[in-house]
Structures are given as structure tokens and as C-alpha cells.
Chains A and B, each alone.
Chain A
Amino acid sequence: NAGVMQNPRHLVRRRGQEARLRCSPMKGHSHVYWYRQLPEEGLKFMVYLQKENIIDESGMPKERFSAEFPKEGPSILRIQQVVRGDSAAYFCASSEGLAGFGDTQYFGPGTRLTVL
């Protein structure tokens, strides 16, 4: 049973370009989360999606960032007009969406974005 898949693992962009990060959840998981880890910091929540719906985007910057989880295919985190401050590790997690306690999020290996 494959875990959460993310690609690319490393992405280099120049300032002003667009970055697209992809995440395929674990089999059977319909809930996807994106987190960002800046150097020397913990993971910070960005957005939570279910198929075709954004449930919580309270951690997403208001401009340049967008996310989607279409009916078919992976979840995409898109960063337009990247700036040096976007350089970070971006992690995707997925969960089953269990009721009650016990809905555990499992993480992918991350995409390390470097903006030159």
C-alpha cells in the first residue's frame, strides 16, 4: 500500500516563475492537507481539501497561492510569481476523515522549493 506521494521532490524556480507541487494521497484517503516548513521552524498549516472542495484555507497566503484537489488526479499546490521567501519544504498529508478521535494524518516526503 503506497504512502503519500509528492512530486517533484526538489524544485528550483527563479523569482517570478510559477511553482506547481503535486500530491497523491494514500489509497482510501479523501482528505488532503498542505503544510509548509521554513528553515529552523515547525510545520505550518496552509490548506485542507477534500475532493473538489477547499475546507479550510486559513493558513494560505491571500495572494499568489492556490490549491485544488480535483475529482480525478492529484492535489496541486500552485505558487505564482515566486519570491525568495517562498523557499521552503512543502509537505502534503492525507487522512481517511474518521469521525471521533483517531483521524491520523500521514505525510509525504515533501517538495523542497528553492527560489533563486
Chain B
Amino acid sequence: DQQVKQNSPSLSVQEGRISILNCDYTNSMFDYFLWYKKYPAEGPTFLISISSIKDKNEDGRFTVFLNKSAKHLSLHIVPSQPGDSAVYFCAAKSNAGGTSYGKLTFGQGTILTVHP
């Protein structure tokens, strides 16, 4: 049961253009969402997060949008740079147990390639 899905295994973008990575979820109890970037042979690096009380969060070149009714979130990277080439994972967690901490449920990842 894949509760968090990233339906695009890969994305190729030209340097300077916008990269849009998408993520869908099925569990309506999820209320906190995170994006991680991962290089080969390294651990995931936290990029940006958003809680269910917001629909947008911005940090520099990275913006995350949340559409709760559609159970969909997206990560926008503008402008894209070759150094952004990596695997991007979205992750979600639930506050249902009364705690904000706890396990993350990850998508399968999207490989982003930014061409110079």
C-alpha cells in the first residue's frame, strides 16, 4: 500500500528553467510534509517542509505547494542549477497520535537531471 506516490521516476530540465516535482498521498491523516534531496551514496538532506495549515512555503529557490483537497504537493525549483541534479523524495507524517514526531512515509523518489 503506497501511501505516498511520486509518479514521475525522472525529470530532465535545462539550467535556469523551473523544475516541478510532484507528489500525491492517500492518507488523509498526513499533516506534515517534507522534501529531501539525495545524492548517490549519501543520506537524504532536508530541503523544505510544509504543514497542513499552510498551502505554500518558500525558501530561496525552493517553494513547496500543498493542495489538501487533491492530496497533492509539489516542489518548485527556480532557477534550476546543475548542482540540483539528485534524487528528490517527498515524505509525510501524521499527527494522529498526538505527537508531531514519528515515522516518515516516503515516496519512491524522482531523479532530477539539470542540463547545463
Contacts and interface: CB of A to CB of B under 8 A. Distances in A.
A18 to B, nearest CB: 24
A110 B105 contact: no
Contacts of B91: 43
Interface in A68-98: 91, 93, 95, 97-98
Contacts of B43: 4, 6, 91, 107-110
Contact of A56 (B44, B51, B103, B109): B103
Looking at chain A, what size class is its interface with the partner chain? 20 to 34
B55 to A, nearest CB: 14
A102 interface: yes
Interface string B51-68: 101000000000000000
B45 A101 contact: no
Contacts of A4: 43
B89 A105 contact: no
Given A33-B103, A56-B102, A101 B51 contact: yes
A108 B91 CA distance: 16
Contacts, number: 73
A10 to B, nearest CB: 10
B23 to A, nearest CB: 11
A101 B32 contact: yes
Contacts of A106: 46
B19 interface: no
B100 A42 contact: no
B75 to A, nearest CB: 15
Contacts of A97: 101
B30 interface: no
A68 B107 CA distance: 27
A95 B103 CA distance: 11
Contacts of B41: 109-110, 112
Residue from A99, A101, A102 having most chain B Cβ neighbours under 10 A: A101
Contacts of A101: 31-32, 51, 53, 95, 100
Given A58-B103, A109-B43, 4 more contacts: A4-B43, A35-B106, A42-B108, A95-B101
Interface of B: 4, 6, 31-32, 34, 36, 41-46, 49, 51, 53, 89, 91, 95, 99-109
